Amino acid sequence: MKSSFQRSLAFCAILFASAIAAPPVLATSKETIAVSVGNLLQEGHYTRQKLNEGVSRKFLQTYLELLDYSHLFFTQQDVDTLNAKHGNSIASDVLLGTLKPAYEIYDLYARRVDERVAKIKELLKQPTDFKSDATIELSRQKSPWPKDEAEADQLWRGRIANELLQEHLSEHPIEPAPQLVERRYDRLARTVHEEDRDEQVKLFLDALAQTYDPHSEYLSKADMKNFSINMGLSLVGIGAMLRTEDGYAKIESLVPGGPAQVDGRLKVGDRISAVAQGSAEYVDVREMRLDKVVEMIRGKKGTHVRLLVIPSDATDPSRRKNVELVRDEIKLKDQEARADIIIKKDENGDPIKLGWLTLPSFYADMDRHQKSTTRDVLALLKRLKKENIAGLVVDLRKNGGGSLEEALSLTGLFLKSGPIVQTKDYNGSIRISSDPDSGIAYSGPLVILTSRQSASASEIFAAALQDYGRAVIVGDKNTFGKGTVQTILPIGRFASLLGSHTDEDGALKLTIQKFYRVAGGSTQLHGVASDIVLPSLSDLPEFGEGALKNCLPYDEVPKAKYTKWSDTHSLFVDQLKRRSEERAKNDPEFHYVMEDIDRLRHKIDYNRISLNEDVRKKELQDDKLRKELRSKERLARNQEEPRIYRLTLDSVDKPNLQLIMYPGKLAEAKKSGVPQKVVPEAAPDADSDLIAGVGGGDDTKEPAIDPERDETLNILNDLADLSRGPKTASVRP
């Protein structure tokens, strides 16, 4: 694949050079960068879409939405005026090095923000009625822009009333609500005016790249150096990736092994409303620039940071939780593959030994070749086989992808030689990548556990094992659905063809290929469908590739030639599915999940929230009572826990392994009253109310309640049992 990237990059360079054989004389580096990005996109992107009028209109829409995400500052009159002036020409302006539209549109946005903030200040001086029956939209991302200023004023009256009510009902008030909201919008106006021309160009070119597909992106020098929204790449921090949404810093993902992931209270989708250093007062961060929020959250190792967070599952945004974390070095060891040996009882009460392999990502050290996912997993598999496990689960629930080479070689540990994945270039040229090793490291019963967060390389791995009939796929209905390949092209390499360039030029992350399964279908949009679906709060289409704007379509290529796993190794999917559905139907934890899914689905579909204080208080009280009831029901259930031994790369060759769970441990914890965490997909409303393991060490990282984990083990147990074949009974004479 590396050579394919190099060929694509060279091809882009040839096309780009031919397209600019007679370049105009350009005034500044920003204009040169714009020309370079425009040409690279239309000549190097997988779609080879020219910067025509159709792309121009999409580009303008994308730029306006990057500026005004919630469709609140511009009016439809503004949008119509901008479309009439720039709709058909803004893309061709980029090819001419003309950035005037970028500045003009941004300046209009800044004026609209100033005008709105002035009106908000007047609005805050008026009394607010919290007894009305009015409601407002929770999300306006898909709503039209207000048709005129009068409609915008009406929308903002409801929005400000909601923000005041949120702060009024908050369990952790920072200061009087009107002052807090006024300072918030003062900060928004300041932030808008702090964006210099370089930052405006970055946003403008980013919008152009995202017009082609959601994974293409213009990266400024600062992005390349720091990836400021990705705190997980910092040496010291909390290990979270943030993005801006509707004025909030929103948790996009958590770094495995980082302080936030280990603590367990922060969840993907949570929104940070305030940050405090140690015991100092909270500072409201809504409408604050993301890099400023990141700077406040980062700090020295061992220091404390407090976050005031709106939970992702909160039906009312006034619900907050206080999360205190200790900043720490993000240790790569915590992101390595690890395994558990689980001894549980089968349906006959006999002990059975199962393996559980957790794979956070497909990691690889490209430069020094010191780290390899495949090499690490192979070491773990050797020990698991030595322990005579009856079956294996590979947990990919939070695996967002990584190295394609590692995905190929890791798949090969479970298969004989054969094709693993197909990739197609813009011109329809198909390349088949095969298992590099004909050996098999593990041939026993295999289950792959996935979620909507399983993406890219994870989908290649799961799809191949499913197409070969080698493994049963369990989890959400589908994985994420990212079936595209990106490469990084330094702009300076191409800008130099137009004249001088500097390190300020940045780079373009460009989609150049698509992935396809060996069976011919793409993982794009469709992802990998589970053979057995388990209820999960993450299993919503809003969390997948299809929810992203301008995503590439699904298509197929011819099926590759491959031989399925031997017919003697049946997966018994129909039988496993029937048994699993019966257990899930009687599992109270899955009942909780289904209730939460119904509430979340209703919240998303209804997309409105009441401005009545009594209604909001009742909703908050209902949430609290539900948490308390579930906590009591959990404590009342006497469910025997399995015996679990932890296997890491450091302990893989040691005779004795760490015992992290054993029968009776939860009962001990109940008596001691030690609270513990729960996996987010299980019951996100009761993090602080669940009883789990006692003591420190690695056992604090594991959720006590994880119905997906428990049912996946049951499925593996069934698969191992069915794979052993029919049993016979004899009678002694």
pLDDT (0 to 100) of residue 175: 82
Catalytic residues: 456, 467, 482
Going by their DSSP bridges, the two strands 338-345 and 328-329 should be labelled as unpaired
pLDDT (0 to 100) of residue 624: 93
pLDDT (0 to 100) of residue 333: 65
Residue 544 burial by CB count (10 A; 0-12/13-18/19+): exposed, middle or buried?
buried
> Does residue 74 carry a pLDDT above 50?
yes
Going by their DSSP bridges, the two strands 217-219 and 608-610 should be labelled as unpaired
> Does residue 259 carry a pLDDT above 80?
yes
pLDDT in tens, 186-232: 989 998 998 889 899 999 999 999 999 999 999 887 676 554 333 33
State which amino acid sits at residue 446. L
Mean pLDDT of 591-599: 95
Mean pLDDT of 549-554: 96
> Does residue 490 carry a pLDDT above 50?
yes
pLDDT in tens, 605-650: 999 999 999 999 999 999 999 999 999 998 888 777 889 999 999 8
Q: Which of 720, 441, 411 lies closest to 570, judged by CA?
A: 720
Count the residues in the chain: 733
Give the position of tokens 């000549």: 43
Confidence band, pLDDT 50/70/90 cuts, at residue 685? very low
> Does residue 668 carry a pLDDT above 80?
no
Residue 303 burial by CB count (10 A; 0-12/13-18/19+): exposed, middle or buried?
middle
- Nearest-5° Cα angle at 291, 285 to 297: 60
In the chain, what's the furthest Cα-to-Cα distance?
A: 102
Confidence band, pLDDT 50/70/90 cuts, at residue 350? confident
> Does residue 500 carry a pLDDT above 70?
no
DSSP track, 563-598: -PSPTTS---HHHHHHHHHHHHHT-HHHHHHHHHHH
CA–CA dist 494, 371 (Å, integer): 33
- Find the range with the poorest average confidence among 343-357, 426-440, 489-503: 489-503
CA–CA dist 290, 271 (Å, integer): 12
Q: Which of 547, 558, 609, 605 lies closest to 166, judged by CA?
A: 609
List the domains of the chain with CATH numbers.
Answer: 48-212 (no CATH), 224-329 (2.30.42.10), 336-483+522-726 (3.90.226.10)
Burial code of 37-69, b = ≥16 C-beta within 10 A, e = fewer? bbbbbbbbbbeebebeeebbbbbbbbbbbebbb
Mean pLDDT of 306-322: 88
Q: Which of 425, 708, 440 lies closest to 594, judged by CA?
A: 708
Distance of CA 87 to the CA centre of its chain: 33
pLDDT (0 to 100) of residue 658: 87
Binning the chain into helix, strand and coil, the percentages to the nearest 5 are 45, 20, 40
> Does residue 568 carry a pLDDT above 80?
no
Coil, helix or strand at residue 465: helix
CA–CA dist 431, 630 (Å, integer): 52
Query: Higher confidence at residue 275 or residue 702?
Result: 275
> Does residue 667 carry a pLDDT above 60?
no
pLDDT in tens, 380-409: 999 999 999 999 999 999 898 888 899 999
- Find the range with the poorest average confidence among 1-10, 252-261, 448-457: 1-10
State residue 655 phi and psi, 5-degree precision: -70, -35
Going by their DSSP bridges, the two strands 532-533 and 217-219 should be labelled as unpaired
- DSSP H or E run through 614: helix 613-636
Q: Which of 281, 282, 260 lies closest to 273, judged by CA?
A: 282
pLDDT (0 to 100) of residue 674: 47
Whole-number Cα distances in Å, 117 to 189, 251, 292? 7, 27, 21
CA–CA dist 622, 628 (Å, integer): 10
Q: Tokens standing for 269?
A: 């989708």
pLDDT in tens, 19-55: 333 344 443 479 999 999 999 999 999 999 999 999 9
Beta-strand ranges (E) seen in 64-184 are 135-137
Q: Average model confidence (pLDDT) for the chain?
A: 85
Confidence band, pLDDT 50/70/90 cuts, at residue 721? very high
223-229, long-range: CB < 8 A, 24+ apart: 223/506, 224/506, 224/507, 228/290, 228/291, 228/294, 229/290, 229/291, 229/294
> Does residue 731 carry a pLDDT above 80?
no
End-to-end CA distance of the chain: 66
> Does residue 567 carry a pLDDT above 90?
no
Whole-number Cα distances in Å, 297 to 121, 232, 320? 29, 12, 18
Task: Give the number of other Cβ atoms within 10 Å of residue 248's Cβ.
Answer: 22
Q: Is the dihedral of CA 142, 539, 313, 399 positive or negative?
A: negative
pLDDT (0 to 100) of residue 367: 54
